[in-house]
Chain A
Amino acid sequence: MHFRVYRYDPDKDAKPYMQDYDVELEPTDQMLLDALVRIKEQDDTLSLRRSCREGVCGSDAMNINGKNGLACVTKVADLKQPIELRPLPGLPVIRDLIVDMTQFFKQYHSIKPYLINNDRPPERERLQSPEDREELNGLYECILCACCSTSCPSFWWNPDKFVGPAGLLQAYRFIADSRDQAINERLDNLEDPYRLFRCHSIMNCVDVCPKGLNPTEAIGKIKDLMVKRTV
């Protein structure tokens, strides 16, 4: 199986280059991550992040044949050869397939990704009706792998100002939460031509999300709420 992998070690390389690898896969090597582990057996200088190897931790997000995805849940048999692997686009490369996600998490933290409720916490838990809980489906499942935000041109152009699809999906996750008391502050925080309205609904985020979530829909719902409280 033929691979072309993006290589860059800032300590040694003047600029990035693509390295070819040919690997024999075992029958048990079903996923792209398995193949990458084989490549690492050949060449242990190749650097990549990985952890749970089953699409839960979100560590091994990368650009696979031009489309962002998780190596651990991408079937190697479905990919056209040579399989081109690059780091997530738009973020600074630390080394090989590892990117610096500081900017991504800065935007995530800017939406205050935690429940804000000033009432005294009850002895056991804050209760929700099943209908209210239903609202959080399709939102809470995000694993913050950054596939969506790094496939979004608006995030490429303005990563310091635009929250990005992952952050906005999480913003709506707390806006939609019936236990949260800061909905107005959250909407105030997003009502900005850069933070929210850089989204032009091109839906790259929906196309790449490995969990099948829909940030564009969540962003639309935030805009709907803004309209509702304004007009």
Chain B
Amino acid sequence: MVNRVVVGAHYGLTAWLAQRVSAVVMAVYSLVFVVKVLMLPQLNYETWRGLFTPGWMRFMTFLFLLSIMVHAWVGMRDIWMDYIKSTGLRLTLQVGTILWLVGCTGWAMQILWRV
């Protein structure tokens, strides 16, 4: 393959925007979560479990987990793009990151739905 600098992938806006939007979702969730925890009469296993029982809390926690995944994906992809010069290694790390994040999110959801 010829060794020439190639740019012009014509994407990037979606990832950048997704990172911003996911940050807002995480910020709102964190605020609601802290308030809910502070409002608990006492902090033990039962009250902690009770926190995640309502449907709307599961809904929001799910969105939070998805936001972390998207946010971390763009952040990690940025790090690989900044520092990793070899295209093959970069692709491997990016695919590895996606697989790891999807796996973690699935696992977290399973924990959330189990209790």
Contacts and interface: CB of A to CB of B under 8 A. Distances in A.
B11 A193 contact: yes
A188 B81 contact: no
Interface string A219-231: 0000100110011
A197 to B, nearest CB: 4
Contacts of A197: 12-13, 15-16
A194 B81 contact: yes
A140 interface: no
- Give the interface size class of chain B: 10 to 19
Contacts of A158: 81-82
Nearest to B10: A191
A157 B7 CA distance: 15
A231 to B, nearest CB: 8
Interface string A192-211: 11111110100000000000
B8 interface: yes
A122 B63 CA distance: 56
- Give the interface size class of chain A: 20 to 34
A155 to B, nearest CB: 11
Given A161-B5, A192-B7, A198 B81 contact: yes
Nearest to B78: A200
A191 B9 CA distance: 8
B7 A194 contact: yes
A113 B73 CA distance: 34
B9 A230 contact: no
Contacts of B57: none
A200 B11 CA distance: 16
The 4 lowest CB-CB distance pairs between A and B, nearest first, are A193-B12, A197-B12, A160-B5, A226-B13
Interface of B: 5, 7-13, 15-17, 78, 81-83
Interface of A: 153-154, 157-158, 160-161, 188-189, 191-198, 200, 223, 226-227, 230-231
Given A158-B81, A161-B7, 6 more contacts: A153-B82, A192-B9, A192-B11, A193-B11, A194-B9, A230-B13
11 contacts: A154-B82, A157-B82, A161-B5, A189-B8, A192-B8, A194-B9, A197-B13, A197-B15, A227-B17, A230-B13, A231-B17
